[in-house]
Amino acid sequence: MNQDPEPDVCLDLGPGNGPIAVEVRELTKRYGRVWALRDCGFRLPAHRIIALVGANGAGKSTLMSVVSGLLPATAGSVLVDGRPVTSRRRARADGAAGDGGSRVAILGQDKPLYRDFSAADMLRFGRWTNRVWDQRRALAWLARFEVPLDRPCARLSGGQRTQVALAVALGTRPTLLLLDEPLADLDPVARTEVAGELLAEAADGGMTVVLSTHVVAELAGISDHLLLLAGGRPVLAGGTEELLARHVRLSGPRAERPPLAGTVVRARHTDRQSTFTVRLPGATPADTAGRADAAGGARVTAPGWSARPVPLDDLVISYLRASGTAPLGLEAAA
């Protein structure tokens, strides 16, 4: 079937007139002959939780390391709160990087905790090693999730160790918190609760959170903005509500093209039926808001055709499949 040009790219490159937390310009990172990131460009809005999604090898961890300052870029630039990353002080995985105007904390699955230290010891260590430290904030986080303060980290559950690491990161009062799949030790309910608390922290404390995840079925519950990487490049970016408003799923009798103007992101066919994921035309969310509902009625006049909204996890899978990088580990729940 003939699809429209570049069906695998949908980028809302700017957060409108709001503040920008991260701006990436023509960013490239190469390991020898292997390109981890290639000509990346995007802007992320401040005071949001942004889900960073992609298959294994898409460049998520590399992107976070470059944004944090832990890795140098091969080419291009990164601005955090309007300041070049290269002008900030050395980033550290267990705390904040930069000066008082821009602080970045990064936390990965391999959490930086000392096994013999208690949670209280880790907070004391955080206070000792960071110029900016908020003991009350760190203690409040541990109390919120009922983490015992006097128990060695080696005797805490995986989920409790995650909460200690998050408390240490939050204690540094970062303006940007990068979480590279550190919530894998939490069950789905706990992940949603943590995301809700992080969103509140972001709104109250002027913090932006970028959360790398492969659990696409939970995206709608843990983020309000999405950045999807495939092959070292962004292929889908924008606010989740705006992205959903720009796409529709059309089902009807088998056909080569859907009976609605737009860009075909993904097409699936059986002997008698076709299903299309379509990106609706329109440059702004205002141009496309409500179009899915309209398409389900007056805008789809062809006999036998229906239109439905596209769930966020299915939308992500559609773009990954269009780019040829959707493994089983990223499939949406049936």
Would you give the distance in Å from CA 123 to the centre of its chain?
27
Q: How far is CA 288 from CA 7, 43, 116, 228, 262, in A?
A: 17, 21, 55, 21, 11
Label the pairing between strands 83-84 and 75-80.
antiparallel
φ, ψ dihedrals at 131, nearest 5°:
-65, -40
pLDDT at residue 102, as a whole number = 63
Sheet of 34-45: strands edge to edge? Answer: 34-45, 20-31, 75-80, 83-84
pLDDT at residue 121, as a whole number = 98
Six token digits for residue 326:
């959707």
CB distance 210 to 298 below 8 Å: no
Q: How far is CA 221 from CA 15, 32, 191, 199, in A?
A: 20, 38, 9, 11
Closest CA to 326 of 61, 98, 58: 58
pLDDT at residue 252, as a whole number = 95
Question: Please, what's the largest Cα pairwise distance for the chain?
Answer: 70
Helix axes 119-129, 158-171, angle to 10 degrees: 30
pLDDT at residue 301, as a whole number = 73
pLDDT one digit per residue (tens) for the chain, 334 residues: 434 434 455 555 555 568 899 999 999 999 999 999 999 999 999 999 999 998 888 899 999 999 999 999 999 999 999 999 874 444 443 344 444 456 899 998 888 899 999 999 999 999 999 999 999 999 999 999 999 999 999 999 999 999 999 999 999 999 999 999 877 788 878 888 888 888 888 877 689 999 997 777 777 777 889 999 998 999 999 999 999 999 999 999 999 999 988 899 999 999 999 999 999 886 444 444 444 443 433 367 789 999 999 999 899 999 988 887 654 344 443 3
pLDDT at residue 257, as a whole number = 92
191-208 CB burial, b ≥16 within 10 A, e <16: bebbbebbbebbeeeebb
Six token digits for residue 328:
């089983």
Six token digits for residue 109:
């699955």
pLDDT at residue 226, as a whole number = 94
DSSP code of 56? T
pLDDT at residue 64, as a whole number = 95
Residue corresponding to tokens 């298959």 = 55
d(CA 82, CA 102): 9
Closest CA to 159 of 177, 171, 147: 147
